[in-house]
Structure 1
Amino acid sequence: MQNLLTAHPDVQAVFAQNDEMALGALRALQTAGKSDVMVVGFDGTPDGEKAVNDGKLAATIAQLPDQIGAKASKPQIKC
């Protein structure tokens, strides 16, 4: 994140691969004094959800693998 901020000081948003990375990005942004960057995490972890509720993360995206698997395992035949 520090390298990204050096290369792109006007960054406006960060989409992290998971909530832990998003929270790390938030810490780096705070250290750099940047409070206007939107940060989105992924996985819907309890820490990610808390950060959203606290107004720190803009969002966390939760997948529902059980539902994805159930839909994928059903035959999808259309006539």
Structure 2
Amino acid sequence: MVKIRLKRMGAHKKPFYRVVVADSRTQRDGRFIEEIGYFDPMVEPNVIRIDDEKAKKWLAQGAQPTNVVKDLLKKSGIIE
């Protein structure tokens, strides 16, 4: 099963996340298929940049977003 999920980057106590498409069996920060955006919770307001064409393509192919990514996609206006 393919998931759309966050990959943690950044320094200790300064997280930065990439939104990636990955096989559900791989580890959180392991191999991924494609990077479709990023999320920076450390700045105010939070920065969310997601390529809507790539996200819609993967969702159409059956990729399942995690709960957090689903909320980010809603805030970005990609899904309702």
TM range (shorter): under 0.3
Give me the TM-score of the superposition, normalised by structure 2.
0.27
**Relative CO higher for 1 or 2, CA cutoff 8 Å, sep ≥ 6?**
2
Give me the TM-score of the superposition, normalised by structure 1.
0.27
Greater radius of gyration (CA):
1
- Which structure has the highest strand share of the two? 2
